[in-house]
Structure 1
Amino acid sequence: MPATDGKKRLTVRLKSTPQKQTPDNRQDVELLRQAVRAIQAGSSNSHKFSLEVLFSSVQGQVEAQQGPALHALLDAEFSVWAAAEVAALATHLALDTTTFLQRVVALWEHYSHHLDLIRPVFLYLDRAYVVGKPGTLSVFQLGLQQLRCHMEALPHVHNRIVDSLLQLVEAERSGEAVTRHLLKHTVAMLTNLRLYEDGARDMLLSSATQYYSREGSTLINELDLAAYLVHCERRLAEEYDRCEAYLGLSLRRPLKSILDQCLLEAHMSSILDGTRQLLASCQEQDLGRLYSMCNRIGALAGLRLVYRGYIRSAGSEFVTDEHKEDEMVARMLRFRRDMQSVLHNSFANHADFALALKEGFEACLNSRADKPAELIAKYLDSILRRGSKAGAQDSSLEEVLDAALALFRYVQGKDVFEAFYKRILSRRLLMGRSASMDAEKLCISKIKAECGPQFTNQLEGMLKDIEISSDIMSGYKQYVAAQPASAGVDMNVLVLTSGFWPSYRAFECLLPSELLRAQKEFADYYLSKHGGRKLAWHGTSSNCVVRAHFPLGVKELQASLHQATILLLFNESEQLSFSDVQAAIKLEETELRRTLASLSLAKEKVLRKEPAGSDISPKDVFRFNEKYTSKLYRVKINNLQMQDSDEDSKKTNEQVLQDRFHQIDAAVVRIMKMRKTLSHNLLLGELASQLRFPVGQSDVKKRIESLIDREYLQRVEHGYEYLA
């Protein structure tokens, strides 16, 4: 009856299980043999065999303890089948490589397909018999084993298959087009037959080694390094793609090792030799490629040595080029910027390469003793004269200072830098040539952070003197305004602490009465405010503005104090001889010659010299140049006596050397007083750690001899002993 609840019901009728019949063993075996042969042959009669009947026959055989016999039957049938297939393939050995592999692939597809058809028939044999017998092959594996055995029995067939595979792989490496699916199916067959890992794989790797060894030896001489590295990178990508396509992922690692060995490691000497050219032209992409490859093969140490060596040699060329000394710092800054860019963009900021950069710049900057320190000080002077204008479009003044001081950090003779910077800073401040006091303070603060407060104590004192002098002059001007009978000279005085400033040679000069009166007024004012102090006037660094009335126009001449004093003499006389000028101002002869040369032989010839010539002699006569003219209203007269010269540099270096002797003496006494006795080598080590400049052994020996003579030390058996 239909269901009353409106829901459909599912009715399942069970088929009755037929009664198991006692099998006829011989008939079943023959039936199974015929079925296997029909499937192997691909016969159209194979469909006449019922899978249910065949399965039942296999089940009956296994349950009747005939599993071993049935397994042996399959083994025999597969052997005959495989032998026939391989023998048929042997008849096609003369075919070309591609056609032959097509035959191989066809054999494999036919064989494996029909094995897949046989396997379901004997599924019960695999489940009930093979599983319980460790080491016994399944039906499918049994078929593969027979094919493998007959392949190995005919080595000329097997070898031709592998050779064909190698030929096509090498042809593809050489740029020829190949049918990749043939290669893929060939490799799949060899893999399934366990012939790939057991022979073919090694032959593939051996072939790759030979191919890339030949290629590497040829191309390393034909291509430039950049092109060679691109080729190596492309080859690795090609091999990876080949592994993805048909060779198998298991070959990625060994092929990579072969490429690294044949293309890189075998030619690393030539590669590193060519690296200098990449560094010289800053080919960052190619250098990054080289870094990656060296990192992969563990050759970073060699690349690091080349990087450091290139910085040292190329930098030393800039440092030792005496013809371009003025450009040395600028060239080194550009060079360092390029090498830092390489470090960042190519070498991944690797700590070892950063250390190599530091070592390289230290070596090249100290390849010429003391001169780089002097030139860095002068470069900073040019920067601080220009102020914010010194910064490039993409960098600020602070960044420019940081770059220059980065070079200073590599210099060993920091005392030379200190001496020159102090001298140049004093000139810049006294002559009013500093663009900004803020910039001066910024620079000194950076030097202080680098070298400590003791290094910059005097420099900071100089800036402080300038600031205090400004306050003093404000009070002085109020004082002068209140005096009814002042000298009437607009004068600015800098009161400097003698211990902070470098010493300049003082020249006695008889000043005009107006200036002498102004000096006295200021001295009276200052000493009334600061009792107990002593003022010493230094006119060497002084400058004046003199208004000159030329027939062709009025000009303001910005001159030194000595120049202005000489010019004022021509208010009373139309011409003066050398001896007349010397008698009038009492200036030392050498300084007088230099000052007169700046007025009559330099660019702005406000005086005429007779007779004409390039030197100043005591017989010369000087006249006021009535024909002088200039496009400018205020004209600066070159102050030759303030210009830095080789003689000034020599004197500064001599002073530094003398100071070093004193510092070595003090350091030796300090060390020996603490240690009492010390060997010579240990004493050298202690000195190197305490002094701010490189210490030569010969200099130390001389200073020790001096200290022994002065009875600070005495020699003992293993070194020196301090004498209390």
Structure 2
Amino acid sequence: MEKTMISHIITPKEKPLLFEERWPIMQPTVSKLVRQDCVSRAEWQDLFGEVHRVCLWDERSPDKMYKALQEEIMTFIREAQIRVLQHQDEQALLNAYISEWTRFWTQCSYLPMPFVQLEACLLGKTTSNPQRKQPVQESMVKKLMLDSWNKSIFSSIKQKLQDAAMHLVYKERCNEQFDSNLVIGVRESYVNLCSNACDQLQIYRDHFEKAYIDFTRSFYLQQAGSYLAENGMQEYMKYADAKLKEEEQRASKYLEPGPESQIKLQNCCVDVLVTAFKETLLSECPSLISTNETERLRLLFSLVDRVPGGTEPLLTYLEDHIFQSGLSDMMENASTINQDSEKYVEQLLSLFRRFSKLVKDAFNGDPRFLTARDKAFKKVVNDTSVFSLDLPSRQGAATRVPESRCPELLANYCDMLLRKTQLSKRLTPDEVDARLKDVLLVLKYVQNRDVFMRYHKTHLTRRLILETSADSDKEEMMVEWLREVGMPADFVHKLARMFQDIKVSSDLNREFKEEFKRSREVATDVINIKILNWGAWGRSGDRVPVSLPLELEEIVPEVEDFYKRHHSGRKLQWHHHMSNGTIHFSNETGEYDLDVTTFQMAVLFAWNERPKDKISFESLRLATEIPDVELRRTIWSLVAFPKLKRQVLSYYPECQSPKDFANSTVFWVNQEFALIRGGKAQKFGKVNLIGKLQLVTEKTKDEENVAIMELRALRTQEAIIKILKMRKSISNSQLQAELIEILKSQFIPTRKLIKEQLEWLIENKYIRRDESNINLFHYVA
């Protein structure tokens, strides 16, 4: 059996690896790495091991290795510099530099990797240095490479590189082709060579960016003025717009990504291409707006919108054009639209659509221009030079306050859509809805909405009493739409109450008919009473006297007795001027049913017992007991009804208006009266002589207008007290601002009105002035 001998040879302690002994072995591999020569895997791995051993075994080696590495890098850079500088042509110089720089920058990522241990040792030695308390984040070897490149080659030729790059950009602006990567490479070297860890873009901003912007400014300073002089303003706008877009795209390639550089270049181009010629550009605006040249306006807007405050003149021009053009169109058609509310509203809507299209097409629907459109259109709607409604001031009817008739005409148009008219009959339900919404659109621009409320309520009252609504659902829908557009809640609530009253009145009417039929044992389909709540329907307190026909006079006490049995503590007030009926009329021509007002009925019944007599105006006044003004108007509707070719009554002598009737003027039933159809007299038919039911007597029209002003005064007082209750103390200017904000949904209070109400409230000790400041008000609890 063999025995194996195991021997252990002990060698002396290994000698420390000195830098001088190992660097000659490491240097060839380092040189290959710097020059981007091929390095085998074994060489790559051996270099890691050599650096590690040398740095750990010899404390003096890291500093020596760092200096040797620096020398190796500088040797390569000096060789690269020679290769770059041998080119005199700008493009060749750039090509050579970019080629060398690209190779070097690539190696900046690889060369530091084997020297991680060297950096660790150097940092370990320097961390005790009080001047290097913060650890360096970037690789020391990479920083060494970049700093060496910067000091040796870049610093000496960066001006040449910069000038060459700017010259290439100049060629591109002149439509010459070149390799854009050359300019990009120069920019990247400016960015990557910065050793300022806190601001990596410092060198780029101070040199490349500044030079790029300066060259751009210089280029367009030479080009812009001459182009304008040669081609005119219209072509220059296209040129400036194209160049601004070009420079934006060019900047995205040649400048560092990020908003800062882009904004600087954009401001530079705008200054040179737009701001310098702003006044000339803006001088084109009025003519372009007036001729509706939307394409050119859009181009002009895109240019001046880049200039701070550049659009302000455009807004002014647009607002002036809309107001002047709108007012001119309204004046041109004044004679037609003043009497036809449908054409008036259509004219306004046509203007609004035209101006809206202008803003959309020329200014891209910019909110600032939409606001200018709204301001100008509001002036047109509320202008009093074409359509004026004179409201008396509180001092008396002698002093008139002119306001726009727009709300009155809007209310009339609503009435035409909601009432059974030729207009509402030819429109589909959807078309009626669309037109009602158009009315609400215009209503948004009306200042004196309280006037619209008055007229709308008057028309609604007439429709509900005469039962002429085209669609009851649309009536109630309109009330909801008024609520949605911000009409006062109390007004909308009263309108809703009117519909409720009609439904309640319908039930009462049915019960009354049943009782009346049992007591009289006669047909009751000819009787239709409406008992309405004064709180919702209340109008002028003026009750016009009239001597009712016997047939109606007998029913009045029966209705009152019936109502008292059902409701105690309530009082009925008869408003005969708001009532109407149908009478059977016969003459030598034929028999007809006439829809008439109570006043017309009272007049016609004067001939009931003596159909062929002639009756004087004075006798009619005594018989009917109708006031003079109302009687004249009622008789005129029977002798000169505009829709009839043959009138119900004849008279003598002839006159031009009801004011010309004398006490001796005589009237008689026209025995030739007939309904004419197709040029032939009909023996039977039905004629509506009511027209618009007279809800307000002639005497009280001024009272209605006074009531509007009085309600405004009360609303103003109410708003002042509300504000002062909340604020306790407030200045005059702030009070006026808050008052307008509160009341603008109804009307815009004038300074005079505000002053009057303040004085009244002070006089009645609701508020008081401050003793030391007359413009300060205090609430008196």
TM interval, shorter chain, is 0.5 to 0.7
1:257 aligns with 2:267: no
Contact 2:462 2:693 (8 Å CA) reproduced: no
Q: Which moved more, 1:390-399 or 1:598-607?
A: 390-399
The CA deviation string for residues 384-441 of structure 1, in whole angstroms up to 9 with x for no partner, is 4379969998979788767756776776656545444433332232222333444444
Question: CA separation in 2, counterparts of 1:598 and 1:73?
Answer: 118
Indicate the SS of the match to 2:578: coil
Question: CA separation in 1, counterparts of 2:539 and 2:432?
Answer: 27
Structure 1 unaligned runs (5+)? 1-19, 94-99
1:605 aligns with 2:613: no
Summarize the alignment of residues 549-628 of structure 1 with structure 2, pairs less than 5 Å apart.
555-567=592-604, 572-574=610-612, 576=614, 579=617, 582=620, 584-601=623-640, 602-607=642-647, 608=650, 614-616=656-658, 617-618=660-661, 619=665, 623-626=670-673, 628=675
Structure 2 CA distance for partners of 1:379 and 1:644, relative to 1, 3 Å: farther
Indicate the SS of the match to 2:86: helix
Contact 2:578 2:693 (8 Å CA) reproduced: no
1:652 aligns with 2:713: no
Question: CA separation in 1, counterparts of 2:111 and 2:732?
Answer: 96
The equivalent residue for 1:4 is none
TM-score, normalization by structure 1: 0.65
Query: How far did residue 475 of structure 1 move?
Result: 1.9
1:468 aligns with 2:468: no
- Which one-letter code corresponds to 2:644 in the other structure? E
Contact 1:542 1:561 (8 Å CA) reproduced: yes
Summarize the alignment of residues 175-574 of structure 1 with structure 2, pairs less than 5 Å apart.
175-185=175-185, 187=187, 199-211=207-219, 222=233, 231=242, 234-235=245-246, 238-239=249-250, 241-243=252-254, 247-249=255-257, 253-260=260-267, 262-263=269-270, 267=275, 314=322, 323=334, 326=341, 371=404, 374=408, 377-385=411-419, 415-444=450-479, 450=486, 454-456=490-492, 458-483=494-519, 486=522, 490-499=526-535, 500-503=537-540, 505-519=542-556, 522-523=559-560, 525-527=562-564, 529-530=566-567, 534-548=571-585, 555-567=592-604, 572-574=610-612
Question: CA separation in 1, counterparts of 2:153 and 2:778?
Answer: 93
Indicate the SS of the match to 2:596: strand
Indicate the SS of the match to 1:635: strand
Indicate the SS of the match to 2:504: helix
TM-align CA RMSD: 6.8
- Which one-letter code corresponds to 2:265 in the other structure? I
Question: CA separation in 1, counterparts of 2:708 and 2:146?
Answer: 94
Contact 2:282 2:313 (8 Å CA) reproduced: no
Structure 2 unaligned runs (5+)? 1-14, 127-135, 195-202, 385-401
Structure 2 CA distance for partners of 1:242 and 1:524, relative to 1, 3 Å: same
The equivalent residue for 2:397 is none
Indicate the SS of the match to 1:629: strand
The equivalent residue for 2:86 is 88
Query: How far did residue 497 of structure 1 move?
Result: 3.6
- Which one-letter code corresponds to 1:592 in the other structure? L
The equivalent residue for 1:17 is none
Contact 2:275 2:307 (8 Å CA) reproduced: no
Structure 2 CA distance for partners of 1:575 and 1:304, relative to 1, 3 Å: farther
Query: How far did residue 126 of structure 1 move?
Result: 10
The equivalent residue for 1:167 is 167
Query: How far did residue 329 of structure 1 move?
Result: 6.2
Summarize the alignment of residues 629-648 of structure 1 with structure 2, pairs less than 5 Å apart.
629-630=676-677, 633-637=685-689, 639=691, 642=694
1:104 aligns with 2:138: no
The CA deviation string for residues 493-525 of structure 1, in whole angstroms up to 9 with x for no partner, is 222344542127544444443343454554555
Query: How far did residue 259 of structure 1 move?
Result: 1.0
Structure 2 CA distance for partners of 1:68 and 1:395, relative to 1, 3 Å: same
Structure 2 CA distance for partners of 1:556 and 1:126, relative to 1, 3 Å: same
Structure 2 CA distance for partners of 1:439 and 1:501, relative to 1, 3 Å: farther
Indicate the SS of the match to 1:490: coil
Query: How far did residue 637 of structure 1 move?
Result: 2.9
Structure 2 CA distance for partners of 1:237 and 1:552, relative to 1, 3 Å: farther
Query: How far did residue 474 of structure 1 move?
Result: 1.1
Indicate the SS of the match to 1:249: coil
The equivalent residue for 1:10 is none
Identity %, equivalent residues: 19
The CA deviation string for residues 510-561 of structure 1, in whole angstroms up to 9 with x for no partner, is 4443343454554555455556655443332222334455777765433323
Structure 2 CA distance for partners of 1:504 and 1:627, relative to 1, 3 Å: same
Question: CA separation in 2, counterparts of 1:118 and 1:537?
Answer: 105
Structure 2 CA distance for partners of 1:151 and 1:455, relative to 1, 3 Å: closer
Question: CA separation in 2, counterparts of 1:671 and 1:146?
Answer: 75
Structure 2 CA distance for partners of 1:702 and 1:211, relative to 1, 3 Å: same
Structure 2 CA distance for partners of 1:646 and 1:225, relative to 1, 3 Å: farther
Indicate the SS of the match to 2:582: strand
TM-score, normalization by structure 2: 0.62
Q: Which moved more, 1:628-637 or 1:710-719?
A: 710-719
Query: How far did residue 629 of structure 1 move?
Result: 0.3
- Which one-letter code corresponds to 2:643 in the other structure? K
- Which one-letter code corresponds to 2:577 in the other structure? T
Contact 2:540 2:700 (8 Å CA) reproduced: no
- Which one-letter code corresponds to 1:606 in the other structure? R
Question: CA separation in 2, counterparts of 1:163 and 1:522?
Answer: 106
Question: CA separation in 1, counterparts of 2:380 and 2:706?
Answer: 23
Q: Which moved more, 1:206-215 or 1:711-720?
A: 711-720
